[in-house]
Structure 1
Amino acid sequence: MAPERRTGVEGVAQDGPGNSTVIGGRYRLQERLGRGGMGTVWRAADELLGRSVAVKELHVDAGGGSAGALREARVVAQIRHPHVVVVHDVVEHEGIPFIVMELVDGGSLADRLAGAGPLAPAEAARLGLALLGALGAAHDRGVLHRDVKPANVLLEAGTGRVVLTDFGIARLAGATTISEAGAFMGSPEYTAPERMQGGEAGPAADLWSLGALLCAAVTGESPFRRDSVGGILHAVVFGEIRPPAGLGPLVPVVRGLLERDPEQRLGAAEAARLLSACAADGGGAEPVPAARHAPAERATRPGGPLPPESGRRRALRAGLVAALIALTVGATVTATSLLGGGDGRAEGRESGATAGAAGPSRSASASSSPPASPSPAPSPSASPAGSVRPAPAGYQVVADPRGFSLAVPAGYRRTTDDQRVFYGSPDGSVRIGIRTSAAPAGGPLGAMRSADRQGAETNPGYRDNKVVPTTHDGLPAALWEFTWDGFTRTEGARHTFDLCWEQDGVLYDVWVSTPVGRTAEARGHFDAALDSFVPGVGGSASP
């Protein structure tokens, strides 16, 4: 059988150092460093000047050809900054375009996170300052990077120099997210919500990406990683955003950079000030292993919801649909990364609250976590006859696939992540959350007290908090109640009620979160949910 035909130089150069492929009459390819969706990067020897270089082979199938290579090289050549990769040359070999760049030995931030684990907050702050400088130099030239992520940040061994690379999808300010060919340009986990519209975006979009990258640098995971592209896009545009536990002094800058409204987003100057303070502070909190930082709804409480602004919701939804269409028609989802490598994963959520009196259950955990995928509320008729409790006027009883039934206000929409279920109001301001898990050794009261101890760390402005033991349907339970400031100026202060109880070895947790000033409404929804809650309806009740 004839060997499979390879494009470009991979068939010749893939065997490592010592091969004979020379391009441009002077660059001898030696070994492949990485491969992305739009290009392959090689280590090469510049035989004319006697130095090592990196050579990026642009994939012909990715489009652009020599014109694309020249455009990318010109974009980067405009930006002179110590933290931006240097471009030396552009050449062609057998019709394939190549960009010759400086070789940064040491791998990418993605490599570092996968191999050595997360950075300490102060170290991440220094990295963030370097990237802010690189982005500032690009923005001063009217260039948006549009793909700031760990795989595109190189860490030079020995010197610690941080280098932003891969401007392959960079555009002048005002360019669109959806390419002329219908491809989604960029990495969804690090893409700002305004770019999800497929419309115009400015320098603030790169700053959003930097905020997501800082989360990944300290926790090992992107705050928007989900199991599907649709889930990622929904999390970016609509899901609640909670800076994960372990960010320590980086929380204010991450919160500011992950503000959905670009006009309210933290600017580069203020971000630099906050990062400088964190870097100068030294050490900071210890880095959090990736496995620990995924939010568990009970004791970890890594963060609270950041609902989108109602005024932008319709435009963002249209953009999300456009992006999903682009992705599902076979377009390239992730742009090339210089050295390849994956990015981490993370999620966040808001915590709940406790009712005031120690008596029969009444409390709710505020807020939910970024809903991964919306779905219509289960039909009330799906519940087996006689197995559900009646709903008050204005509510409907839903039999949830996760294994329980309860009453929620009519018109509320169901969303889920891998651990929790949420029912939210049409405007996203009111959230009812439910989670089941294995009962902990300390029981409901121990779980709530653990969450309360972390309240100030995970909920900005955490106050008016209390945890009390109680019962629910005669079973041991705990109530938690608190107020906090929300994660953005547009969200504002919120109040949460949360109740958890143990039943047949399962810990059930039900919470309600609303804006301050609507606590009476929250208490009504909370009481209705708890009075109507029945386990074992609609699916498996096992944790």
Structure 2
Amino acid sequence: MASDGGWITASQIPRDVVAGRYRITGRLGRGGMGTVWRATDELLDRQVAVKEMHLPEYGLSEHESSTQRDRALREARSVARIQHPHVVVVYDVVQQDGRPWIVMELVDGRSLAAVLSEDGPLPPREAARIGAAVAGALRAAHDREIQHRDVKPANVLIEQRTGRVVLTDFGIARIPGSATISETGAFVGSPEYTAPERMMPGGGSAGPESDLWSLGALLCAAVDGHSPFHRESIGEIVHAVAIDDIRPPSAVGALLPVVHGLLDRDPARRMAAAEAMTVLTAYAEYGIEPPTPQLVRRPEPDLGADPGADPGAAADVGGPAGRTPADRAGTPQLPTGGGPGPLATRRGRGRRRAGIAVLTVLAVAAGATAAVLVTRGSGGDPAAATTGAPVVRSTAPATTAGPAKPPASSAPHTAPVPAGSTRVEDPKGFSVVLPAGYVRDPEPPRTYYWSADRGFRFGEREQKPDPRGPYGVMHDQDVAGPSANGYKGYRDGVITRTTHRGQEAALWEFTYDGFPNKPGARRTFDLCWTQDGRMYDLWLSAPIARVEQARAIFDEAVASFRPHR
């Protein structure tokens, strides 16, 4: 959680220490569902955010109040299981003074709402970067049948040092098999960011698509300063959301196709989270403008169409128009561009890749064409992953993302070693740049290096080329899931077909539950490629909360890696 500047006097701070260990030191913010406090975890000596839940007590019997408290605790524990790089980390859920308290990571930064208020609207590409991260967080939540239901700028945090984007405040989330804490007869949420189906009678049962509408409104707010449904009264807001013509601000620019795809009043036609992540990532990192609205969105029903016509025929004319909602988790592709590393973005400032793709984009930039295939692990034939996806060509000029640059990894790394890092000469026959203090820990045929605090683990493996190629190797491990290398709790696996130093390569990203002696969700980045008759595999894993730092370390390691052959 981030500070909203609303500090209070010492006399207003709760005197008690929550759960015997979280000492309250100040207020970070207050919303309709609770107050968020800054606190010190005196057991682990770290700063945390503690949310004091405000539950509807007036007019409720003791039994009803107890039920509401138990429900809030159950929901918070469910949300804690998401464990995604762009979802706030939940450390603990406790009860005190008859109220639930949720203990979360303290994000050192500001909310998107504060950024817009203090600095003004964002450029479209920065808005796309933030939107892609939120879309990834929503996909992870929806995969676990959890709906956020309150996606808005105030609930999106941006870490000051790294630029990491974090979706927070699942206080009114919907959990499978449970009514939500807000279902007491009153609407809870932010009307300017609420999907029209949630405003209708029975709207409490609206599906996860409603979160994607909110993302569309958030993108508009990011580039224009406020939601396109901003009005003077609640009645006018509801009318704008449910009935008025939807007019996105001109500031959305190239993001217009995505906004149109998300702000569709028909939930069945609305762009899915993975699709939104695809085009937003491509634009944020490479300047590849999203395809025109008719390529992203399915057309209005043609009442005169032949009912026996092939529903997939529309894909033959260049778009996902003929796909059913179930097809929207299909085969994706993204451009590699000329970025400085497998994970880094050209825009600098520590901004890193946040995307997972779902449709095909063939990018033509500065006279060079490159393509990347990204697919969610499905257990299917990897050879089939290159077929059946619609092709969308970028119409953006080559100068959109700046002059083309060759990937830093396309040649041996010759740049000076950054301050705080060192070039390691491994006796196995390779060298690589890692932060100073990493300690070697070989486990043949793998070689590991651990950071001093045992938080980061770098790994290297060399073997004979596999006839399946790098993508096939990664695909088999993805299908194996938890049994692959002991990755307990394996999830969120994504494989990207790409190139490295001019050779076929595959990038595998995934989350798992960590090590038996060091529990806690971890994110792993793993690049595999074949070079000079050998297959190399480099990876780096780190705690979820340190994922942005891990991206930078991994990029440097990959770019600097030199086999001594």
Q: What range is the shorter-chain TM-score in?
A: 0.3 to 0.5
Which structure is richer in relative contact order (CA contacts within 8 A, separation 6 or more)? 1
Q: Give the TM-score, by structure 2 length.
A: 0.46
